[in-house]
Amino acid sequence: MRRVTLITLIVAALFLFIIWFSNANADLTRPGAFNKISPMPWEHTFTNRVTLRWGPSQGAEGYQYCLDPNWEDKKCNTSWVDVGNKTYVTVSDFLFTSIYAWTVRASKGPSKTMSDNGDWWLLYINPSLLPPEPPNPPPYPPPIITETPASTEPPVTIEPITPTPPYPPYP
């Protein structure tokens, strides 16, 4: 009986040590990894209003996004905009026919975690390609419908064609 209790104590101590060691190496001061959801990279948007969405980050106290028209260097050349603890933001007033890079970061105190391991997504804004609003239709008179007389021609009959040798018979 003592032997089972001793083995149980050793296993429990080993289990607690493993838990302590794994937590000691975890960076509990940084928000967890997370990903952007939409709009997808290079998604064409034909409106002047876009909702950026991302998943939650474990331990995040807030989020900031950056939407940058200087998309080639994939750095935040504008500014980080704080959205509190929301996982989406609707932005508008884009330059017509423009490409933007966007990303979001989670914050916990002074620590930051970039979405998608720091990858920026591109967004193509082109509201100028929207079709123009249709004008109000003018009040046209209703169409005039006339009856056509019945045909005096005899009906046409179509005879089936049967294959002739050397063609194989139709199954």
Residue 125 inside a domain? The answer is yes
Residue 15 inside a domain? The answer is no
pLDDT in tens, 76-97: 888 899 999 999 999 887 766 6
| Predicted pLDDT of residue 127 | 56
Residue 135 inside a domain? The answer is no
pLDDT in tens, 58-79: 999 999 999 888 877 878 888 8
What CATH number corresponds to the domain at position 121? 2.60.40.10
Residue 140 inside a domain? The answer is no
| Predicted pLDDT of residue 104 | 95
Q: Is the pTM of this model over 0.75?
A: no
Residue 61 structural domain: 36-129
**151, pLDDT greater than 90:** no
Nearest to 105 by CA among 91, 89, 92, 94: 89
What total number of domains does the chain contain?
1
Mean pLDDT of the 148-161 span? 66
- When computed from its CA atoms, the radius of gyration of the chain, rounded to whole angstroms, is 34
**56, pLDDT greater than 90:** yes
